[in-house]
């Protein structure tokens, strides 16, 4: 399955023909080996001719190992964690295990959306190589959950925030789903005293950085002081003005967003065009021009989280 996914990714990213051919040959080899392994006549004393995988005994034991069958017989509490971007052990395996263990009442489960197989978060789409070659840390959320589970025997799921408690929230607007998503990601908060979201409130440069720090799940930053926010900007290569309380324009936000998502140092016009090309913005008319985006206008909470939400959906 992993090689099938690797082949699909290679074709999707237009890898060189020799690279695709090498993956196809590797996939064919393993299919042939697994066919021999799954033959009922396979035995350690007389492995079939042509079985070329090393440590035949390991593969033989693995063939007969069904984790769910073993776990069903156990009675000890369990905490099952799953990375949403794990391509070695995909979410489908996690869901299958949950179904297999539905009769057990002392098993807890939690999915960490951005975590890959190496127990670190990854912002982009995993490819089985880049995320492993990039330094990362175990997410603080996972560490805290494991600690709490070991101490208390339970993990508390973060309750969903209901946006309808805010009087200015309305369903069906261009920003409705995005605001709901941002609230539950902790990217924005409502004004509880006034019971308002204030979607039209403009965003300052430091507020933008706080949102992106939270979005990146970068727990290496222990605080959200102005100094730490600008250290985060420097680390990510974000070209900011350093004027923390000045409103961010839509054009400036486009440049910063494309640096994060496209990994490019675009001009404002290039950044806006890239966002149009990705289908994550519409502009104020259907011309899809730089001017229709109104780049000099201050960006609002609703505009920013909607673009961010749309980019997230494109991953």
Q: What is the pLDDT of residue 44?
A: 83
- Rg over alpha carbons for the chain, rounded to the nearest Å, is 24
Q: What is the pLDDT of residue 220?
A: 42
pLDDT in tens, 186-235: 888 888 778 899 999 999 999 999 999 888 864 444 456 888 899 999 99
Closest CA to 212 of 179, 248, 188: 188
Q: What is the pLDDT of residue 158?
A: 61
Residue 13 CA to residue 145 CA, distance in Å, equals 36
pLDDT one digit per residue (tens) for the chain, 315 residues: 566 767 777 777 778 888 888 888 888 898 888 888 888 888 888 788 888 888 888 888 888 888 889 999 999 999 999 988 888 888 888 888 988 898 898 999 998 888 999 999 887 778 788 888 998 899 888 998 999 999 988 887 666 678 888 999 999 999 999 999 998 888 888 887 788 999 999 999 999 999 998 888 644 444 568 888 999 999 999 999 999 999 999 999 999 999 999 999 999 999 999 999 999 999 999 899 999 999 999 999 999 999 999 998 887
């Amino acid at each position: 399955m992993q090689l099938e996914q690797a082949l699909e990714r290679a074709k999707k990213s237009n890898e060189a023909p020799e690279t695709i051919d090498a993956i196809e040959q590797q996939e064919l080899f393993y299919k042939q080996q697994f066919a021999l392994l799954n033959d009922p006549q396979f035995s350690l004393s007389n492995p079939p001719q042509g079985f070329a995988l090393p440590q035949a005994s390991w593969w033989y034991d693995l063939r007969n190992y069904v984790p769910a069958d073993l776990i069903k017989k156990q009675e000890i509490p369990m905490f099952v964690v799953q990375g949403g971007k794990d391509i070695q052990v995909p979410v489908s395996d996690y869901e299958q295990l949950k179904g297999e263990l539905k009769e057990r009442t002392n098993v807890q489960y939690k999915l960490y959306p951005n975590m890959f197989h190496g127990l670190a978060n990854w912002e982009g789409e995993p490819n089985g190589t880049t995320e492993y070659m990039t330094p990362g840390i175990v997410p603080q959320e996972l560490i805290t959950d494991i600690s709490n589970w070991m101490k208390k025997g339970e993990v508390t799921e973060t309750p969903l925030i209901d946006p309808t408690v805010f009087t200015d929230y309305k369903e069906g607007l261009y920003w409705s789903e995005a605001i709901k998503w941002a609230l539950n990601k902790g990217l924005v908060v409502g004004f509880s005293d006034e019971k308002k979201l204030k979607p039209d409130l403009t965003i300052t440069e430091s507020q933008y950085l706080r949102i992106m720090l939270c979005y990146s799940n970068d727990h290496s930053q222990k605080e959200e002081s102005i100094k730490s926010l600008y250290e985060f900007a420097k680390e990510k290569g974000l070209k900011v003005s350093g004027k923390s309380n000045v409103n961010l324009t839509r054009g400036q936000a486009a440049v910063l967003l494309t640096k994060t998502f496209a990994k490019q140092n675009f001009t404002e016009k290039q950044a806006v065009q890239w966002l149009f090309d990705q289908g994550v913005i519409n502009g104020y008319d259907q011309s899809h021009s730089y001017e229709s985006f109104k780049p000099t206008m201050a960006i609002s909470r609703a505009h920013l989280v909607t673009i961010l939400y749309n980019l997230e959906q494109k991953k």
